[in-house]
Structure 1
């Protein structure tokens, strides 16, 4: 691959860099522009040759580059040799690389979604646990809305060790696959513990705040996992 790039590179150099052209330019212009122009022109050609040679030699000793890294090195040599005339070509190369990276990301995201859907489809028991959680939260929310913390406490069960809470966490653990989802689960459990404590103390306002926080965390988790719309009551 590197050999192909290097052998092609010479076709991008302007004709003004060839020795025959530079010598003809020197002879034709020396009589009108004087020896100073000839000297500056020769110096410019020599500088470009030196830069190109340094770039080629650096490739022989450089570590292995990925496709984008090699492209950047290659087009850098073109800029040094041809000036600003390669800006459009450089933009096109970088844009093509960006398109390939975006396409690869889309493919990976799609693969992850398919894998997640496969896990969800095979988790009917865990979805049943989550459906029970939805019903429990609905009952608790209605009780709190009616300022009936006694009814809310009877559903909550007095601690996070109740069966429906433990079952919900079984589903959370199986279906969570990202740090964001895990964070929402932690927020849900923390808010639920606060809700249980507040309801036991008959603190209506704190119970309302804790309920909203726990319900919000659960809804966010549902959205992140792609389960939204698969449970009744949401």
Structure 2
């Protein structure tokens, strides 16, 4: 609206800025009335422009303040509702995760219960590691060597690896199996060479990796001596 008025003013104002054309001598009264009318119109337009701007600004300010207040109150309710929805979704995700973990534990227990032979192999390994640990502690590496055997081709190691293969289901468990086999090989070598320091290090590594695997595989409480 203001731009329209300015455009109109620009169209009209040049008529007053230039020198008034001389009135025809024949109608001086008409010329005076015409010039007076133009000046009156310009004053009216100028006054309209001066008054219209503050009114519009004040009205816009009132509307903006009302809108901001309304939106802020509405946003508070919206964010509260959104937070409640997100919290409910988190609870549902947690519940679903708990259900999946429980189902996984049940399946693991069923697998272990259905694998008594493999469990017996692992139990024998626990007994052997216990004897080896005590022998290393007593610095009797010859005793430890007789329990472990001289190579990784011993029957008990093959049996243990069959149990590992059957009862391992995740990449992490398979990684622990590899770590255990590597540590066990180092243990056999160190004991055979009568290297007490290396034997202790390899023994600890073997036990730690085996315990991690049993925990992940759900065998905690199933094997005695751990």
Q: TM-score range by the shorter chain?
A: 0.5 to 0.7
String of CA shifts for 1:65-124, please: whole Å, max 9, x gaps: xxxxxxxxxxxxxx8994344221111011111111111111111111111111111010
Task: Provide the rounded CA distance (Å) in 2 between the counterparts of 1:99 and 1:80.
Answer: 28
**How do 1:151-230 residues align onto structure 2 when only pairs under 5 Å count?**
151-230=143-222
Shift of 1:232: 2.1
Q: Report the Cα distance in structure 2 between the residues aligned to 1:221 and 1:131, rounded to whole angstroms.
A: 14
Q: For 2:125, which of 133, 145, 157 is the aligned residue? A: 133
Aligned ranges for residues 3-152 of structure 1 at < 5 Å? 34-39=55-60, 82-152=74-144
RMSD: 2.5
- 1:158 alignment partner, SS class: coil
3-state SS of 1:227 partner: coil
Q: How many angstroms does 1:152 deviate by?
A: 1.2
Q: Distance in 2 between matches of 1:166 and 1:205?
A: 27
What count of residue pairs does the alignment treat as equivalent? 171
CA 1:124–1:80: 2 relative to 1, 3 Å: farther
Could you tell me the TM-score, scaled by structure 1's length? 0.66
Unaligned runs of 5+ in 1: 1-32, 47-78
Unaligned segments of structure 2, at least 5 residues = 1-53
Rg: which structure is higher?
2
Distance 1:173 1:221 in 2: 12
RCO comparison, higher one (Cα < 8 Å, 6+):
2
**Structure 1 residue ranges (4+ consecutive) displaced by more than 3 angstroms after TM superposition:** 37-46, 79-85
Alpha-carbon separation, structure 2, partners of 1:113 and 1:232: 19
Counterparts of 2:77 and 2:84, CA distance in 1:
13
Deviation per CA, 1:3-40: give whole Å up to 9, x if none. xxxxxxxxxxxxxxxxxxxxxxxxxxxxxx93324446
TM-score where L is the length of structure 2: 0.68
